[in-house]
Structure 1
Amino acid sequence: MQPAAAQEAGTTGGPLSAIDWLSQSVATPAAAAPDAGLVLPDEPPVAAAGTTLPADVTTSSLDGPAPDGVGLISPSVSGLPRGFWGAGLTREIAESLVSHPDDALPALRQLFLTILLAELNPPIDAGGRGELLLVRIDKLLALGALEQAAALIEAAGVTSPELFRRAFDVALLTGAEDRACDGMANAPHLAPTLPARIFCLARSGDWNTAALTIRTASALGQISADQEQLLSRFLDPDLYEGEPVPPPPSPVTPLDWMIYAAIGEPLPTDGLPIAFSYAELRPRSGWKARIEAAERLTRAGTIPPNVILGLYTENTPAASGGVWDRAAAFQAFDAAMAAGDPARVAATLPAVWNRMQEAELEVPFATLYAKALLDLPLTGAAADIAFRVGLLSPHAETWARRASPTTPEEAFLTAIALGRGAEALPPDSMARAISAAFRIPTPSVEGQRLLDGNRTGEAVIVAIDSIGRGVKGDLRGVTEGLSILRLAGLDAVARRTALELMILERRG
Structure 2
Amino acid sequence: MWINGVNLWVIACVFGGVAAAQEINTSDLPPLGTPDWLSDTITRPHANIATDASIPAITVLPLDAIQLDAVGLLPSSITGLPADLWGASETATLAALMRAQPVQGLPAMQSFTQTLALAELAPPQGASPEGSDLFLARLDMLLTRGALDPAQALMERAGPTAPAVFRRWFDVSLLTDRATRACAAMNANPDIAPTLPAQIFCLARGGDWPAAALLLGTGEALGQISEDEGDLIARFLDPELFEGEPPLPPDANLTALEFQMRMAIAERPDSTGLPLAFVHADLSVLAGWRAQLDAAERLTRSGAIAPQQWLAIYTAQAPSASGAVWDRVAAVQAFDAALLAGDPVETSRRLVPAWDAMGAAGLQVAFADIYADRLLRTPLVGDAGILARQVGLLSPIYEEVAQSAVPQDADERFAFAIARGLPPDVVPGTSVLGRAVAAAFADPLPSHRYASYQQENRLGEALLRAAQTLASGSADADDTTDALVLFRAVGLEDIARRAALQLLLLEN
Normalised by the length of structure 2, the TM-score is 0.87
CA distance in 2, matches of 1:431, 1:59: 52
1:423 CA drift (Å): 4.3
Q: 1:303 aligned to 302, 305, 319, which one? A: 305
Q: 1:150 aligned to 144, 152, 171, which one? A: 152
Matched, 1:81 2:85: no
Contact 2:101 2:468 (C-alpha < 8 Å) held by counterparts = yes
Q: 1:361 aligned to 348, 360, 363, which one? A: 363
Contact 1:169 1:254 (C-alpha < 8 Å) held by counterparts = yes
Q: 1:454 to 1:394 in 2, by over 3 A?
A: same
The match for 2:54 is: 50
CA distance in 2, matches of 1:419, 1:62: 49
- Letter in structure 2 aligned against 1:386: A
Contact 2:348 2:384 (C-alpha < 8 Å) held by counterparts = yes
Matched, 1:19 2:35: yes
The match for 1:94 is: 95
Q: 1:132 to 1:235 in 2, by over 3 A?
A: same
CA distance in 2, matches of 1:258, 1:212: 21
Contact 1:82 1:119 (C-alpha < 8 Å) held by counterparts = yes
Contact 1:217 1:223 (C-alpha < 8 Å) held by counterparts = yes
Q: 1:162 to 1:413 in 2, by over 3 A?
A: same
The match for 2:453 is: 450
What pairs with 1:319-358 in structure 2 (closer than 5 Å)?
Answer: 319-358=321-360
Matched, 1:135 2:168: no
1:112 CA drift (Å): 0.5
Q: What is the CA deviation profile of residues 156-186 of structure 1, one whole-angstrom value per residue up to 9, with x for unaligned ones?
A: 1241221111111111111222222222233
Q: Which runs of 5+ in 1 are unaligned?
A: 1-15, 37-47
Q: What is the CA deviation profile of residues 305-341 of structure 1, one whole-angstrom value per residue up to 9, with x for unaligned ones?
A: 1111110111111201111111111111111121111
Contact 2:301 2:363 (C-alpha < 8 Å) held by counterparts = yes
Q: 1:235 to 1:65 in 2, by over 3 A?
A: closer
Contact 2:105 2:302 (C-alpha < 8 Å) held by counterparts = no
| SS of equivalent to 2:170 | helix
CA distance in 2, matches of 1:245, 1:435: 58
CA distance in 1, matches of 2:60, 2:305: 36
Matched, 1:435 2:438: yes
- Letter in structure 2 aligned against 1:23: S
1:488 CA drift (Å): 2.4
The match for 1:287 is: 289
1:215 CA drift (Å): 1.4
What pairs with 1:338-487 in structure 2 (closer than 5 Å)?
Answer: 338-420=340-422, 422-425=423-426, 427-439=430-442, 440-442=444-446, 444-445=448-449, 447-468=450-471, 471-472=473-474, 474-487=476-489
The match for 1:11 is: none
The match for 1:210 is: 212
CA distance in 1, matches of 2:46, 2:217: 25
Contact 1:408 1:425 (C-alpha < 8 Å) held by counterparts = no
- Letter in structure 2 aligned against 1:409: D
1:468 CA drift (Å): 4.0
RMSD of aligned residue pairs (Cα, Å): 2.4
- Letter in structure 2 aligned against 1:50: S
| SS of equivalent to 2:441 | helix
- Letter in structure 2 aligned against 1:431: G
- Letter in structure 1 aligned against 2:54: G
Q: 1:252 to 1:495 in 2, by over 3 A?
A: same
The match for 2:180 is: 178
The more displaced of 59-68 and 312-321 is: 59-68
CA distance in 2, matches of 1:312, 1:391: 23
Contact 1:443 1:479 (C-alpha < 8 Å) held by counterparts = no
CA distance in 1, matches of 2:383, 2:176: 41
Normalised by the length of structure 1, the TM-score is 0.87
CA distance in 1, matches of 2:162, 2:171: 14
The match for 2:27 is: none
The more displaced of 88-97 and 308-317 is: 88-97
Identity among equivalent positions (%) equals: 44
CA distance in 2, matches of 1:146, 1:73: 16
The match for 1:5 is: none
- Letter in structure 2 aligned against 1:430: L
Matched, 1:241 2:243: yes
Contact 1:60 1:124 (C-alpha < 8 Å) held by counterparts = no
Q: 1:204 to 1:318 in 2, by over 3 A?
A: farther
CA distance in 2, matches of 1:432, 1:164: 48
CA distance in 2, matches of 1:341, 1:281: 32
The more displaced of 141-150 and 220-229 is: 220-229
Contact 1:226 1:246 (C-alpha < 8 Å) held by counterparts = no
CA distance in 2, matches of 1:67, 1:172: 23
Contact 1:333 1:352 (C-alpha < 8 Å) held by counterparts = yes
Higher relative contact order (CA 8 A, sep 6+): 2
Contact 2:418 2:424 (C-alpha < 8 Å) held by counterparts = no
Q: 1:60 to 1:430 in 2, by over 3 A?
A: farther
Q: What is the CA deviation profile of residues 334-371 of structure 1, one whole-angstrom value per residue up to 9, with x for unaligned ones?
A: 11121111112111111111111111111111111111
The more displaced of 99-108 and 346-355 is: 99-108
Q: What is the CA deviation profile of residues 32-62 of structure 1, one whole-angstrom value per residue up to 9, with x for unaligned ones?
A: 74x57xxxxxxxxxxx853499xxxx99989
